Amino acid sequence: MTNFYSILFQRLYTSPLLGDLLTLLAGGILPLAFAPVSWYPVAILSPACLFILWRNNHPQRAGWRGLLYGIGMFGVGISWVQISFSQFGNIPFLGALLLTITFVLSMALYPALLGWLVTRWFPHHTATKLLIILPATWTLVEWLRGWLFSGFPWLSLGYSQIDSPLNGYAPLLGVYGVSWLTVTSAGLLIFIGSGKPHSKQLLPLLLLIGLWGGGWLLSTHAWTQPAGAPLPVALIQGNVPQDFKWLPSSQQPTLQRYLQLTAQQRPHAKLIIWPESAIPLFYHQVPEVIESLRTLQVTAGIDFLIGIPVMDEQRGEYFNSVMSISDHPLQFYLKRHLVPFGEYIPFQQLLGKLLQILNIPMSEFTAGTELQPNLYAAGQLIGVSICYEDAFGELIRRSLPEATLLVNVSNDAWFGDSMAPPQHLEIARMRALETGRYLLRATNTGISAVIDTHGQITARSPQFEIHSLRTQAIPYQGMTPYVRMGNKLVVGLLILILLIAVGFDHPRFDHWFKVVKS
């Protein structure tokens, strides 16, 4: 094995182009770790390949290879953004392709930054760098990507481990903590395979086994407790094509479809949920629909959560909203974290004309206030998120511990039959696992699902079919460590680890924890 690594490193050192191509390939296979393929070991093998390819590089070459890795990763993993531009925006194919490439390149700058920083400031090829510095820095850069410029946390490595033993750490450290341990596993794998078997190789092997075994043990622990009997619910999936959703001629047929599907749930459900903007008109434009639902609530005891846009007529602002109809007064949740270029245009003065070019319906939303009460329905306080908001764990935890259920309404029809809907469902599963709450996900074209406190899907709908998902959800109470501390715990821990590791990042510290030299 030692000779193999020596030959490999020497070959990569003398043939930079080969290393560049392998880096691009390593990034391109990483999305296989995520849904819908969900080969979670790839999330360990892919970063391990990148770390090997970063060896013996100067900072510029490492940054370049980080960029190539990001191009492969995001070029494959989020290629679906092109669908929303070309199919549902007023953009020719080449223009949509250019926008997609620009977005992919902007995301690829993060692994490029990682490669440059680590190689520039930690030039020694030590076990400290491999097992501590690289995993911690990777995770901090991933966290940075999750909030900088409004944030894009898609393809954070921890999501790929939702079905692996490492998922047991999610209620403790959140998705970024799982990312950290995944990259640490990659470093341990390199270390184990980098030399001849001897007694000093036993420690990293035991660490790897302990890391994964500890995750499995933690996954058996119940951090939260049931707060009542199972609640009969129905998630209405109208399957309205995005091409027709906002056409005036489609509005009444859409409303009739949802009302008919809802009437069929009358003997069964106590809570019915319609997806994001299921009503393609403003609240004040559909008084007869609201009255029908309120009548059904009184006569049948069914409560509702309805996706509907709301307009403030005095200020001329409108909001992406979820309305609660129950035996309490009407309540509204107003979406807080809007999608750039989809629901609003950042830097409006410079980029405002993009609204006319993109031609996206309802693309000038106003964000709701940060502090909003949970919605009341079916005797429960419910933490609501709309579409993309469930990608932000810190936002979801704001509704806890008061909320006994989580609900996400979405419309992934923007991205067609691509990887986006399965990836989005995977993200929702992580939120349920982090918080120890059932999460009910109602979507327009699928995938609608009910997810339990362990992040497992208890019921799901088919995609691109009119469907009523009728099942049960259990209210829960209590707090996981992640709900209590959020990302502060893992970010603070990683910064502390990096500060300590800097003092030990020296070849002499590697006398028994040493990577074989090329």
Catalytic center residues: 276, 335, 387
Whats the size of the chain, residue-wise? 518
> Which of 399, 413, 35, 442 has its CA nearest to residue 233?
442
Which two three-digit tokens encode residue 221? 């622990």
Secondary structure (DSSP) of 142-189: HHHHTTGGG---TT-GGGGGTTSGGGGGHHHHHHHHHHHHHHHHHHHH
Q: Walk across the sheet containing 439-443 and list its strands.
A: 375-377, 380-386, 405-410, 439-443, 449-451, 457-460
> Which of 82, 62, 76, 80 has its CA nearest to residue 25?
76
Instruction: Give the span between the Cα atoms of 313 and 285, in whole angstroms.
Output: 12
Cis peptide preceding 447, ω within 30 of 0: yes
Are the C-beta atoms of 430 and 175 separated by less than 8 Å? yes
Question: Is 62 strand, coil or helix?
Answer: helix
> Which of 156, 230, 180, 174 has its CA nearest to residue 433?
174
Instruction: Give the span between the Cα atoms of 439 and 455, in whole angstroms.
Output: 9
Q: Which residue has tokens 């119940």? A: 222
> Which amino acid, one-letter code, is at 157?
L
Query: Rounded to 5 degrees, what are φ and ψ at 344?
Result: -160, 160
Compute CA distances 85 → 98, 131, 154, 497, whole Å: 10, 41, 18, 42
Q: Report the relative pairing of strands 380-386 and 375-377 from DSSP bridges.
A: antiparallel
Q: Report, in angstroms and rounded to the nearest whole number, the Rg of the chain calculated over CA atoms.
A: 24
> Which of 282, 292, 229, 283 has its CA nearest to residue 259?
292
